[in-house]
Amino acid sequence: MNRTLRFQIFRHHPLDPQSQPRLETYRLEESPGMTLFIALNLIRAEQAPDLNFDFVCRAGVCGSCAMLINGRPGLACRTLTASLPETITLLPLPNFELIADLSVNTGKWMRALSERLETWVHLNEEPDIDRLEAPMDADLAEQIYELDRCIECGCCLAACGTAQMRKDFVGAVGIHKIARFRADPRDCRDDAAYYEVIGDEDGVFGCMSLLGCQDFCPKNLSLQTQIAFIRRKLARQGWKKT
């Protein structure tokens, strides 16, 4: 017998002066294989046409549908309702600008972070687009690919205790980006340059090692390993500076 699910969904449109933050309740009959993404679309189609939430790929790749699911960050498209109790509370991710309801502006935060950390390959010379691409060791290419799997969903930041206290903290996503470019042999920066952008309390030395980021990363990235690695490398750089 199918369950009747009870959804408590955060509703608020900050641009509407009449809107007040609240939880609204919707009921929906569960179907086999139902995900939260499917459930939200049914609720919007049948009960709340003005419900705001984000999605693009529906396959756990774009990261758009990240939200708090019964208090835990996760992707709506990858969360089966069968894995949840009959009462499901959905809230927007914290630490990001609220657009409306479950929709937050992760893109604005991620772009600002990329500009702050200069997360692009820094070259010693202007690139020659006519030159053949330099070969790369297969193991190194695989390592960089693994570091590049971050989908910038914001789950790690939502689960981060430090980010709740420090609005300028770069979070695991920022440290992971630094690890990716540090591993890239095409990037000419050294640890002294990385220390300048991430070697402080808002960077890698602000992490309290609670590792909520590791627990809730939907792509199972080795965030704790990269945080420890970058911290160790930049700590050595800090000792040199003193």
CATH of the domain at 9: 3.10.20.30
What is the Cβ-side half-sphere exposure of residue 93, based on CA atoms within 13 angstroms?
Answer: 31
Q: In terms of domains, do 224 and 127 share one?
A: yes
The domain total for the chain is 2
Task: Report the distance separating Cα 40 and Cα 230, nearest Å.
Answer: 39
pLDDT tens digits, 7-27:
999 999 999 999 999 999 999
pLDDT of residue 237: 82
Give me the residue label for tokens 């657009």.
99
Structure tokens at 181: 């470019």
Q: In terms of domains, do 86 and 111 share one?
A: no
From 103, 132, 160, the end of a domain falls on 103
From 49, 75, 103, the end of a domain falls on 103
Give every residue of the chain whose pLDDT is below 50, as ranges.
none
Q: In terms of domains, do 145 and 235 share one?
A: yes
Q: In terms of domains, do 122 and 96 share one?
A: no
pLDDT tens digits, 96-125:
999 999 999 999 999 999 999 999 999 988
Q: In terms of domains, do 128 and 223 share one?
A: yes
Q: In terms of domains, do 120 and 95 share one?
A: no
Q: In terms of domains, do 57 and 124 share one?
A: no
Task: Report the distance separating Cα 170 and Cα 223, nearest Å.
Answer: 13
pTM here?
Answer: 0.91
pLDDT of residue 201: 94
Q: In terms of domains, do 110 and 92 share one?
A: no
Q: In terms of domains, do 89 and 57 share one?
A: yes
Domain that residue 216 falls in: 106-241
